[in-house]
Copies of this chain bind each other. A is one copy, B any other.
Amino acid sequence: MNKKEKIVQSAIQVFTEKGVEKTTVSHIVKTAGIAQGTFYLYFPSKLSLMPAIAEVMVQLTLKTVIETVDETASFDEQLQQFTDAIFAVNKEHHEIQAMIYSGLASTEHLKEWESVYAPMYQWVSSLVENGQKQKVIRADSHPDQLAKLIIGLTESAAEQIYLYDEEFDQDIRATEQKRETLLFLMNALGYTK
């Protein structure tokens, strides 16, 4: 792994462990095992890290989604696998989600958000398009529009469990929330097999 990747990985790790507000460049470089100054060879500032982290996180999420979803399965099965994947990533990295929000929001890197998140949108958009082609879901909305709403809904549903909920009985509530989210989604898409 090269130094730049190492910095991003360490940053994700430290943010996850210590939280956003309390993470410093010093912590990150210590975890990465490099010198303070080396950081600035790869990133012009601390804030410029954020898009890189967001990108890695989106890639990780997309990778998890692709690995979890069986392309040969039916649409409803694929949608269920998709929500499972989103919930799984969120469970592991819920701290980072908040960081991406605030990190991107407080910089001038907002414009990069769309391009960073694009592959994820695209994947879901394709899923929706297939469903429409198979005529198992409604076709009166554009796949891109539906993709946005599906992703927003599923991630916020996961956050409600993993970011704000107490840990007690978390798994049970997660299962319930996933079931409800899927039911909600299927209805929203007008699914009929």
Contact = CB atoms under 8 A, between A and B. Distances in A.
B164 A110 contact: yes
Interface residues of A, number: 48
A174 interface: no
B164 A21 contact: no
Contacts of A103: 102
Contacts of A163: 105, 110
Nearest to A116: B164
A164 B104 contact: yes
A139 interface: no
Number of copies: 4
Binding site secondary structure of chain A: helix
Contacts of A152: 152-153, 156-157, 159-160
A67 to B, nearest CB: 24
Q: Which of A47, A103, A106, A176 has most chain B Cβ within 10 Å?
A: A106
Given A101-B101, A153-B153, A187-B187, A21 B106 contact: yes
Interface of A: 19-22, 47, 95, 98-99, 101-107, 110-111, 113-114, 138, 140-141, 145-146, 148-149, 152-153, 155-157, 159-160, 163-166, 176-177, 180-181, 183-185, 187-190
27 contacts: A21-B47, A21-B106, A21-B107, A95-B105, A98-B104, A98-B106, A101-B102, A102-B102, A102-B103, A114-B164, A140-B183, A141-B183, A141-B184, A145-B180, A149-B157, A149-B180, A149-B181, A149-B184, A152-B152, A152-B153, A152-B157, A152-B160, A153-B156, A155-B156, A184-B188, A187-B187, A187-B190
Given A111-B166, A149-B184, 5 more contacts: A20-B105, A95-B105, A105-B163, A141-B184, A145-B176
